[in-house]
Structure 1
Amino acid sequence: MTTEMIRIFDDNMVCIGQKPREEVHKAGDWHETFHCWFTIGENLLLQKRSPDKKDYPGLFDITSAGHLTVDETIEDGIREVEEELGVKVEFKDLVSLGVLKEEIIFDEMRDREFCHVFLYECKTMPEFILQKEEVESMHTVRLEDAIKLFDGVVREVEVTLVGGREEKQIIGLDSFVGHGSYYFKVLKRIEEIMANRECAQ
């Protein structure tokens, strides 16, 4: 099995070397990730992570995300979307939401990321072909409701399973990967983009 090598950085985002991926979280090294959020209308699309994942099993998270390896550019991160979700997206169709510095302390793991965050606005619901070892299912949540949850205005939101059954469930913050303020910052940026577009029409 090939060892996946990851670039590591100081806290000013200056590259200082590289390490095997499995060592990066143990050491708490800063590294780069690619995040892609999908929206459809007024809804966000969330992935529910596979219960077999080593990190954050069974929790709700970003539509699609992954690490950038030493030989990848930011644009190459788009591969995560097709690998995890079975949806082919062109990088030129993404809207950049900037780079966010994010740190998660989870049990004995220190996950420190420079997140290259992007938005993809779906015109119709994608036909997902999920990589089951990575993603258990896809769900929608109203953007407005999600912002209120991460802002502490409400304690729970309703999410709807994408697919034939369209089952609904109520979840709280403890059902999400512990990204802290990251979610609120990103979702507010998405809200602003959508509001500006409406004003321009």
Structure 2
Amino acid sequence: MMADIAPLGETKDWLEAIGFTVNDGDLWLEALTHGSTGAERNYERLEFLGDRVLGLAMAEWLYNHNNGAEGQLAQRLNALVSRQACAAIAREIGVSDHMRLGKQARDDGAAESDNVLCDTMEALLGASLLESGFDATREIIHRIWRSAFEGHAGRSKHPKSALQEWAAGNRRRPPHYEVVERSGPDHAARFTIRVTVNNVGEVEATAGSKQEAETAAARLFMEKYG
């Protein structure tokens, strides 16, 4: 059973207001359908496609508008296409109001999960590629990501890189990351990561993905010991 969702007509109007071209209704329904519904077709395959579309569009955008070295471009790219960034865009455009979720998943908070929001956002981009092609999808990415692109995302050093360099500069072994706990259902998983620098100390942090938890742990470590 699915929780209350926006009617199909409202969802079509919403998609078109964002700039998507909606001809194949079943395709867009698939892009907004989570596996918890038990539907035969859900967003996973489209998410796989959209992830690559977003990465390519963003890499091209950065290449054309940033004269930085390869490492700087990669740092910005990783920040702009991260789960946290994708989820933030999804929240801004109101994705959660149109996702098809099983009642239990919605009750468990999947509609606000960074993982689910990011996956759905990428699935929408995958659907757009199939409906309208790369050029049209790239234009949508440029429009809805512009604020993030012109902001500070990825401009400062990533916490894990900063910690790595700090450890090397202080003649310490490289930081060691380990998962100490994983909790919650797959669609709303929580990971607790411990980062240790030998003969200095350790801290733990929890987030919705291992990567985000590692980043948070590195940031906390630098705040405490750096």
Query: What is the TM-score normalised by the length of structure 2?
Result: 0.23
* The structure with more strand, counted as a fraction of residues: 1
Indicate the structure (1 or 2) with the bigger Cα radius of gyration.
Answer: 2
* The structure with more helix, counted as a fraction of residues: 2
